[in-house]
Amino acid sequence: MSVRKLYRVGEEIDARLASLLVLLPIVFVIALYLYGSHKRHQENPKDRMMPNLKQIQTGIVKTVEVNCRTGDRWLLKDLKYSLRLMVLSVAITVTCAVLVGLHMACFSVIEALHMKFVRFVSFIPPLALLPLIFIFVGTDTPAKILLIFLGTYFILVMDVFLACKDVPRKLIQKAYTMGASTVEVVFKVVLMFAWPRILNSIRFTLRQAWIFLIAAEMIASEAGLGYRIILVQRQIGVNIILWYIFIIGAIGFTCDFILLKIIQTRYAWSLEK
């Protein structure tokens, strides 16, 4: 394929070239880090700011082995805590956002009641509310769930509203003509038609959820991926921090990949141009 074709708008590229281009930035970042680590260790073999592969391996082993002081495995404990918190928070957020956004799109009275409030609160940074959350709710699990909810709900509810609002009017009229009830029109016509786009919005919402989850765990927690990162940071445990950052990225990428595959396989009709 010529260079001129590569820069043509909408031009598809060869699958092998696409695979190569995917690997290039990953290889570049790894090579850049290894070079920097090698240079630092030439000056100081015990350097911990940019750990080498052996130090990273030591950090990984430390998180998966039973800790002699606490009697548990750090990684297992932190994963269980963070994933439980994440699943619970996202489930609450998605349920509320989908129901409210759907009804806002379908019923003008609910749109009038809720829209201005959603738009106003969406401009308030959730982290600015953190002191109030800790004062009124405390620092336990409910406070973290509330922070994640506030950080993701208002964006998602607007996306759901816009997706449902774009459902062709003809589909709704046809459903009513065929004898469908209002409940059937709302959930079987509007929601089902907008669902692929809503799933796509949920994909992007997960990114925000991870940000607020890690932030909450760093500020006040007794376990979790964010808690462990801020804890080992005090001992300059960069080898463990890098390992945990990789885990967070891997989990997020896996969830995103699964949702994208669901959209591409089960709702391929929504991707047709």
Q: What is the mean pLDDT of residues 6-26?
A: 73
SS percent in the chain: helix, strand, coil, step 5? 80, 0, 20
Is pLDDT at 11 greater than 80 in this prediction? no
The structure tokens 């004062």 sit at: 135
Is pLDDT at 10 greater than 60 in this prediction? no
Is pLDDT at 99 greater than 90 in this prediction? yes
Convert 224-258 to b/e letters by CB count within 10 Å (16 or more is b): bbbbbbebbeeeebbbbbbbbeebbeebbeebeee
Is pLDDT at 34 greater than 90 in this prediction? no
Q: What distance in Å separates the CA atoms of residue 90 and residue 148, rounded to the nearest whole number?
A: 8
Supply the pLDDT for residue 127: 79
Q: What is the mean pLDDT of residues 25-38?
A: 87
Query: Which of the pair, 230 or 100, is modelled with greater confidence?
Result: 100
Which of 199, 215, 200, 201 is closest to 248 using CA atoms? 215
SS3 assignment, position 86: helix
The answer to whether 240 touches 232, Cβ cutoff 8 Å, is yes
Q: Which of 26-40, 59-73, 80-94, 200-214 has the lowest mean pLDDT?
A: 59-73
Partners of residue 66 on adjacent β-strands = 73
Supply the pLDDT for residue 98: 92
Work out the pLDDT band at 8, boundaries 50, 70, 90.
Answer: low
Supply the pLDDT for residue 93: 92
Q: Tens of pLDDT along 212-249? A: 888 888 777 778 888 888 888 877 778 888 888 898 88
Supply the pLDDT for residue 224: 81
Supply the pLDDT for residue 176: 84
pTM value is 0.81
Query: Which of the pair, 17 or 56, is modelled with greater confidence?
Result: 56
* Phi, psi for 66 (deg, rounded to 5): -70, 125
Convert 83-94 to b/e letters by CB count within 10 Å (16 or more is b): eebbeebbebbb
Supply the pLDDT for residue 92: 93
Range 59-271 has CATH code 3.30.200.20? no
Mean pLDDT of the chain: 84
Supply the pLDDT for residue 3: 57
Supply the pLDDT for residue 94: 93
Location of each CATH 1.10.3720.10 domain in the chain: 59-271
Work out the pLDDT band at 122, boundaries 50, 70, 90.
Answer: confident
H-only helix segments in 71-186 = 74-106, 108-121, 130-136, 141-165, 169-177, 182-184
Q: What distance in Å separates the CA atoms of residue 105 and residue 169, rounded to the nearest whole number?
A: 12
Task: Return the HEC string of 54-67.
Answer: HHHHHHHHHHHCEC
Supply the pLDDT for residue 97: 93
Is pLDDT at 2 greater than 70 in this prediction? no
Q: What distance in Å separates the CA atoms of residue 218 and residue 228, rounded to the nearest whole number?
A: 8
Q: What distance in Å separates the CA atoms of residue 74 and residue 240, rounded to the nearest whole number?
A: 11
